[in-house]
């Protein structure tokens, strides 16, 4: 509602009006121009000048638009609170011991492997790159294979594959994991669903169970915070 250019145009007295409004939003929306001026200890002319600089014809228009702004802000805050609540619930489950046994077992397998290979597409691919770098920082030889059609060489010895997929049904990742499995690689998958093609063919599966979100033309926007946690949790156990 108040962008940088508007804020820059305010003088010291007008900034006092702005500061009071932002600190007392739910009170200001009911105030008259005189009441606001008295509370800030400025003249009504200063308040009116503040309104005009903010792009309003007068105080009445400012109040109408300010109430609309507060309603929109309330909606955004509610949505943000829902997002935070979901993450809080996940970490509450972490605190109650979920994953701990599996993480210990997986870390043992990774520790004994000569190399770790991350695979994933899209956002999962970005996290695969992060995972490979994170493990490498911990002195564990790791790499990320970006090309889903990368030829899987026979004779790969003592390798662990960490496959990332929200749905567990990404065709290219399932195929890659299956090819690695044929070459006797251990498969660890991190998915949002416990029952999926990828989780079923994996030796170990970590499922985080958060709400699936899609945006626009079937673009998956499910939070990946649990995936980052699980990657780091494995790494810190090495």
CATH number of residue 12's parent domain: 1.10.10.10
49 and 107 share one domain: no
Residues 6 or more apart in contact with residue 106 via CB below 8 angstroms: 188, 204, 206, 234
User: For the chain, how many structural domains are there in total?
Assistant: 2
Enclosing H/E stretch for 236: helix 225-236
- Asked if the model's pLDDT at residue 168 lies above 80, the reply is yes
The first and second tokens of residue 35, run together, are 């009441």
- pLDDT at position 141 is 97
* Residue 61 predicted with pLDDT over 80: yes
What's the predicted TM-score (pTM) here? Answer: 0.71
| Confidence class for position 58, pLDDT limits 50, 70, 90 | very high
> What is the domain range of residue 63?
4-92
Same domain? For 81 and 158 the reply is no
> Any alpha helices (H) in 96-201, and if so which ranges?
100-112, 123-137, 171-182, 197-201
For the segment 163-190, the average pLDDT, to the nearest whole number, is: 96
Tell whether 55 and 126 lie within a shared domain: no
For residue 81, what pLDDT is reported?
73
Q: Tens digits of per-residue pLDDT, 94-152?
A: 988 889 999 999 999 999 999 999 999 999 999 999 999 999 999 999 999 999 888 88
What lies within 8 Å, CB to CB, of 187 at 6+ separation is: 160, 161, 163, 177, 180, 181, 201, 202, 203, 204
Mean pLDDT along residues 6-23? 96
pLDDT over 80 at 179, yes or no: yes
The residue ranking higher by pLDDT, 216 or 232, is 232
Residues 75 and 37 in one domain: yes
């Amino acid at each position: 509602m108040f962008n940088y250019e508007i804020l820059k145009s305010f003088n010291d007295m007008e900034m006092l009006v702005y500061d009071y409004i932002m600190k007392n939003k739910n009170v200001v929306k009911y105030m008259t121009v005189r009441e606001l001026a008295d509370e800030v200890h400025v003249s009504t002319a200063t308040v009116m000048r503040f309104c005009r600089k903010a792009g309003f014809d007068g105080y009445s228009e400012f109040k109408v638009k300010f109430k609309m702004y507060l309603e929109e802000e309330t909606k955004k805050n509610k949505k943000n609170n829902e997002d935070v609540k979901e993450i809080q619930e996940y970490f509450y489950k972490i605190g109650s011991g979920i994953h701990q046994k599996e993480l210990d077992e997986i870390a043992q397998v990774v520790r004994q492997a000569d190399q770790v290979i991350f695979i994933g597409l899209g956002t999962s691919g970005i996290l695969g790159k992060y995972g490979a770098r994170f493990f490498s920082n911990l002195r564990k030889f790791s790499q990320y294979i970006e090309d889903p059609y990368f030829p899987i060489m026979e004779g790969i010895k003592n390798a662990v594959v960490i496959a990332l997929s929200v749905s567990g049904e990404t065709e290219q990742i399932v195929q890659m994991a299956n090819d690695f499995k044929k070459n006797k690689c251990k498969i660890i998958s991190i998915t949002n669903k416990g029952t999926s093609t990828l989780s079923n063919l994996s030796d170990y599966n970590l499922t985080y169970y958060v709400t699936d979100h899609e945006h626009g033309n079937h673009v998956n926007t499910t939070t990946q915070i649990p995936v980052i946690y699980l990657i780091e949790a494995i790494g810190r156990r090495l």
